[in-house]
């Protein structure tokens, strides 16, 4: 498993799709995730993905009788922030990386940043 010092594991394409579904609505069972995916993966494929996501501390399981449901352990915004930290951690010039990022921000993002930085 690959993680940054900030704890953002690398997710494969199917893992990312599953996390997006769990962030939209949870808890979900393996069957519910299967039914929501457009690719119609096998039950064992999604069960394996769920186990991988548990290993990466992205989800936790909940038992309800004989059924198992999965819930995100990390929110979408927290995960994205971890990825942003990870990207900055690999930069040789963090200031330049941040400036390039900010230069490409839409005006509403810039305004939000200005408001945040103006707070004590």
Instruction: Write down how long the chain is.
Output: 120
Flag whether 78 is in a domain: no
User: Quick check: 117 pLDDT over 80?
Assistant: yes
Same domain for 66 and 20: yes
Q: What tens digit of pLDDT does each residue of 4-59 get? A: 445 689 999 999 999 999 999 999 999 999 999 999 899 999 999 999 999 999 99
Position 6 scores a pLDDT of 57
In sequence order, which residues have a C-beta less than 8 Å from that of residue 76 and are 6 or more positions away? 19, 20, 23
Rounded-to-integer distance, Cα 92 and Cα 8, Å: 20
State CA 15 to chain mean position distance. 9
Rounded-to-integer distance, Cα 52 and Cα 48, Å: 6
Mean pLDDT of 86-115: 92
Q: What tens digit of pLDDT does each residue of 72-90 get? A: 999 999 999 999 999 899 9
Position 61 scores a pLDDT of 97
CATH number at residue 34: 1.10.10.10
- Which residues constitute the domain of residue 116? 92-120
Flag whether 3 is in a domain: no
Q: What tens digit of pLDDT does each residue of 55-70 get? A: 999 999 999 999 999 9
């Amino acid at each position: 498993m690959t993680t940054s010092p900030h704890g953002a594991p690398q997710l494969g394409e199917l893992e990312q799709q599953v996390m997006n579904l769990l962030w939209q609505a949870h808890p979900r069972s393996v069957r519910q995730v299967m039914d929501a995916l457009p690719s119609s993966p096998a039950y064992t494929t999604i069960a394996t993905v769920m186990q991988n996501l548990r290993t990466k501390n992205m989800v936790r399981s909940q038992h309800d009788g004989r059924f198992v449901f999965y819930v995100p352990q990390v929110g979408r915004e927290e995960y994205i922030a971890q990825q942003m930290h990870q990207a900055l951690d690999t930069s040789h010039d963090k200031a330049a990386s941040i400036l390039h990022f900010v230069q490409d921000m839409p005006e509403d993002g810039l305004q939000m940043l200005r408001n945040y930085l103006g707070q004590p």
